Structure 1
């Protein structure tokens, strides 16, 4: 599945990775990606709080790394090998928000394109 907005986000992320390379903290990539999206005129919210519903009870405390244009969840990692739970975590964010698209990006890869997963519900 491909769309214009996720392509723009991926392009911005590739630029961040091209300039910074692998090996930094996740928070550095998060701030740099938000700045790159801002430069490109794309709205981005960092550490967006979301509610998780459990049997009609709202549980607070969950945060998205990035929410882009109010439409796409972006989960960032900066590890050598992406843990399997990262995909499940990102899918749970989609379920909690009711959104349909997410990008899971691992800036720890030598080539960022090898560390990008598109997810959708």
Structure 2
């Protein structure tokens, strides 16, 4: 599947979760529901994978954990906050670069309409 095909599925999953659970829950609840939906659909994914960070040629002890990576091509960053800040968007772009992935979906489930909480982030050109 392409990045865009995976993104379409991710948006559908976000919509289903938001209409079922609503807003205001912990991010971990939405992440669990997202993983469950991926399993039901037979889509490969990693949940909370460690992404290494290199400085020059040195592997640093610190890095980050992505919430979900779908099919090794789409990074999903899940939030449940009053509103997304600029730093959330910048952080996802950095995650994309470090994970060497081209597309991310940053989703904030703490919104009235889920379409207001979904943001695509691109690192480079898509296939």
TM over 0.5: yes
Coarse TM-score class (shorter-chain normalised): over 0.9
Q: Which runs of structure 1 show a deviation greater than 2 angstroms over 4 or more consecutive aligned residues? A: none
**Counterpart mapping for 1:2-17 below 5 A:** 3-17=4-18
1:55 corresponds in structure 2 to 56
Q: Which of these residues, 81, 94, 101, is aligned with residue 92 of structure 1?
A: 94
Of 15-24 and 55-64, more deviation after overlay is shown by 55-64
1:24 aligns with 2:25: yes
Q: How big is the shift at 1:57?
A: 1.1
SS in 1 for 2:66: strand
Q: TM-score, normalised by structure 2?
A: 0.90
CA deviation vs aligned residue, 1:49-68 (integer Å, no higher than 9, x gap)? 01011121112441101111
Question: Structure 2: where are the runs of 5+ without partners?
Answer: none
Instruction: Determine which of 96, 102, 105 is the counterpart of 2:107.
Output: 105
Q: SS at the partner of 1:75?
A: strand
The number of equivalent residue pairs is: 120
Of the structure 1 ranges 37-46 and 101-110, higher mean CA displacement relative to structure 2 is found in: 37-46
Scaled by the length of structure 1, the TM-score of the pair is 0.94
How much has 1:83 moved relative to structure 2?
Answer: 1.5
Give the number of the structure whose residues are more often strand, by fraction: 1
Which consecutive residues of structure 1, in runs of 5 or more, have no partner in the other structure? none
